[in-house]
Amino acid sequence: MMRALDGRPMAVARTFKPRRRKMSRARSTAFEELLPIFGLDVEGPPTSAEEIFERSAPVALEIGSGAGEAAIASALAEPDVDLIAADVHTPGIARLLVDLHSHELTNLRVIHGDALEFVMRLPRPTFTEIRVWFPDPWPKPRQRQRRLVTEPIIGLLVPWIVGGGRLRMATDIDDYAEQMLAVCSEHPELDGGIVERPSDRPVTRFERKGVEAGRAVTDLVFVRKL
């Protein structure tokens, strides 16, 4: 059960459905060996980015990291930024862990689970950026409440963004882009909108699939007001 800022239970629709896919023995072994090294527990005592990364630096959160293409590219390109990448799907996390280990990255850590639960362990505010790249569109009308970018969830996340920090999103689903714009525009502490594709946003498998299918990609950036 998600909790509001005052600690009371808060009903938030589950935004994900874990997929049960088999992994190779080597990938399963890598997951079991590397998650204890690079993974962060969803539940636990209060902690901080400084404690996790053993330094003071800007911190970004990527929610729904998939197989980790964007997270790895960002961590390599931004060594002075610490990044926490979260996803619930085990095969993607396993691949991300393997790549993280092979690149010997010290500025990237992984959550295998619900990022919204994990942030409750951190002080407010923590993140200079929260990134949501191509979230599950939940296309059926009865599924829309499961979308990540909704009023309750954005309301929950904004207090963890530092003043002047950014909420960055991208989607190839037109009505989801409209929803992102509407939800974030209505939040009193956010200012922003649709932007040109940022040159520093890595291309992901989901983006390539969308473009190949003829769908246009929309990028949005909102800044938390000072």
**Closest to 125 measured CA to CA, from 49, 44, 41, 221:** 49
User: What positions carry a catalytic annotation?
Assistant: 136
Average pLDDT of 168-190? Answer: 98
pLDDT at 144: 83
Average pLDDT of 148-167? Answer: 98
Sequence-distant (≥ 6) Cβ neighbours of residue 24 within 8 angstroms: none
Hey, what CATH topology would domain 49-224 get?
Rossmann fold (3.40.50)
User: Quick check: 60 and 127 in contact, CB under 8 A?
Assistant: yes
Average pLDDT of 16-34? Answer: 78
**Res. 2: pLDDT tops 80:** no
SS3 content of the chain, % helix, strand, coil (to 5): 40, 25, 40
Query: What whole-number distance in Å separates Cα of residue 224 and Cα of residue 187?
Result: 10
What is the per-residue pLDDT across 81-118, written as a single tens digit (0 to 9) for each? 999 999 999 999 999 999 999 999 999 999 999 999 99
Q: What is the pTM of this model?
A: 0.90
What is the per-residue pLDDT across 159-173, written as a single tens digit (0 to 9) for each? 999 999 999 999 999
- Domain spans, the chain: 49-224
